[in-house]
Chain A
Amino acid sequence: KAGVTQTPRYLIKTRGQQVTLSCSPISGHRSVSWYQQTPGQGLQFLFEYFSETQRNKGNFPGRFSGRQFSNSRSEMNVSTLELGDSALYLCASSLLPGGAVGANVLTFGAGSRLTVL
Chain B
Amino acid sequence: TQLLEQSPQFLSIQEGENLTVYCNSSSVFSSLQWYRQEPGEGPVLLVTVVTGGEVKKLKRLTFQFGDARKDSSLHITAAQPGDTGLYLCAGISNDYKLSFGAGTTVTVRA
Interface residues of A (CB under 8 A from B): 4, 35, 40-45, 56, 90, 92, 98-101, 105-106, 108-111
Contact = CB atoms under 8 A, between A and B. Distances in A.
Given A92-B42, A100-B90, A101-B92, A106 B98 contact: yes
Contacts of B88: 42-43
Interface residues of B, number: 21
Contacts of A4: 42
Contacts, number: 49
B41 A110 contact: yes
Nearest to A103: B48
26 contacts: A35-B100, A41-B102, A42-B101, A42-B103, A43-B43, A43-B88, A43-B90, A43-B100, A45-B97, A45-B99, A90-B43, A98-B96, A99-B97, A100-B33, A100-B45, A100-B48, A100-B90, A100-B92, A101-B92, A101-B96, A105-B45, A106-B45, A108-B42, A108-B44, A110-B42, A111-B42
Which among B42, B43, B45 has the greatest number of chain A C-beta atoms within 10 A?
B42
Contacts of A99: 92, 96-98
Interface in B77-99: 88, 90, 92, 96-99
B91 to A, nearest CB: 10
Contacts of A56: 97
What are the 10 tightest A-B residue pairs by CB atom distance, in nearest-first order?
A108-B42, A42-B102, A43-B100, A98-B96, A99-B96, A99-B98, A42-B100, A108-B43, A109-B42, A110-B41
B83 to A, nearest CB: 19
Nearest to B48: A100
A45 B95 CA distance: 15
